Amino acid sequence: MNSGSQTDARVIPGRIWDARANAFVTRAALMRAADKADVVLLGETHDNREHHRLQREVLESIVATGRRPALVMEQFDREYQGALDAERVRGGRTADSVLAAGHFNRRGWQVEGYRPLVEVALEAGLPIVAANLSRDDARAIVRDPARVALPPVNPSVEQALAADIDHSHCGETTPKAILTGMVAAQRARDVGMAQVLEQQAARGAVLIAGVGHVRADRGAPLYMKQRPLVIAFMEVDEERNTLHDYFDREFATEASFDYAWFTARAERTDPCAEPPALPGQSAPAS
């Protein structure tokens, strides 16, 4: 990466890195790119309210152009799409009624972050589309990865996903059989999201999902025929001060995202202070 001097490469909340231009750019430049893209992926850290606020700004900017893309959300399981559609037909006009119809899991997701996004969709008349694998299906895949047929990928993709998942378990080594199933479930989620996005591509789509799902090098874009615009909201870590600290081929590469929009880190308790969630528990996937 040719990121210039250490001063130029300094990462602070509010800066936006354009990987294609190899430069920091303005918010207006990012918004122009999002306004023109057919499919936009907005990768978040689920409990960071700033990420949700910025996602809403991007969505509102797209809507202001007159476009009416589908709002595609990881936070709704695909099995509830019929209920979401029925609620819209019935005339449900509040975000809470739509969230209830889609069986939004308030224990697994912080509703305050997602309600404003649903409100934008309702105000603009956007379709709301469920993108996630059901929890029952995910658990079944973890137990028996062979039950799902997944597209072939370079072995490095599965290796990277396995390393991410293993790392998330706070130093506890995940048994190989379970890890294999968890990788398969993660890939199944990505494949499903890719399919949903391609179904909506003609009208346009904006995906709200964890940053891991939007990665072009190992997430949903890997399974899409046409490359979407990928915007990742990335928390600034006090121990990571330069671009090289974030794009070091360990966490991500320049091929992972089109834009990295850096934000402050959300305040949260140490997830490793308590035992990690078992596969299939209610904690949402990243």
Please give the Cα distance from 177 to 179 (Å, whole number): 5
Mean pLDDT to the nearest integer, 14-27: 96
Mean pLDDT to the nearest integer, 58-82: 98
pLDDT at 239: 87
Q: Is the pLDDT of residue 58 over 70?
A: yes
Per-residue confidence at 4, pLDDT binned at 50, 70, 90?
Answer: very low
pLDDT at 1: 52
* Residue-range domain boundaries for the chain: 16-273
Please give the Cα distance from 75 to 102 (Å, whole number): 9
106 class by beta-carbon count within 10 Å (0-12 exposed, 13-18 middle, 19+ buried): exposed
The helix (run of H) or strand (run of E) holding residue 230 is strand 229-235
pLDDT at 286: 52
Q: What is the tens place of the pLDDT at every residue in 221-231?
A: 999 999 999 99
Q: Residues of the chain with pLDDT > 90: what percent?
A: 77
Beta pairing, strands 229-235 & 39-44: parallel
In the structure encoding, which two tokens stand for residue 50, read together?
């700033």
145 compared with 283, residue with greater pLDDT: 145
167 compared with 74, residue with greater pLDDT: 74
Amino acid type, 149: A
Beta pairing, strands 259-263 & 16-18: antiparallel
Question: Nearest 5°: phi and psi at 257?
Answer: -140, 155
pLDDT at 279: 40
Question: Apex CA 47: angle with CA 42 and CA 49, to 5°?
Answer: 70
Distance linking the first and last C-alpha atoms of the chain: 26
Q: Is the pLDDT of residue 285 over 50?
A: no
Q: What is the tens place of the pLDDT at every residue in 142-165?
A: 999 999 999 999 999 999 999 989
Q: What would be the CATH architecture of the domain defined by 16-273?
A: 3-Layer(aba) Sandwich (3.40)
Instruction: Name residue 208's beta-bridge partners.
Output: 42, 73
| Contacts by 238-243, CB closer than 8 A, 24 or more apart | 238/265, 240/11, 241/10, 241/11, 242/3, 242/6, 242/9, 242/10, 242/11, 243/1, 243/3, 243/9, 243/11, 243/17
pLDDT at 275: 54
The answer to whether residues 205 and 40 touch, using CB atoms and an 8 Å cutoff, is: yes
The answer to whether residues 9 and 243 touch, using CB atoms and an 8 Å cutoff, is: yes
Per-residue confidence at 2, pLDDT binned at 50, 70, 90?
Answer: low
Instruction: Name residue 80's beta-bridge partners.
Output: none
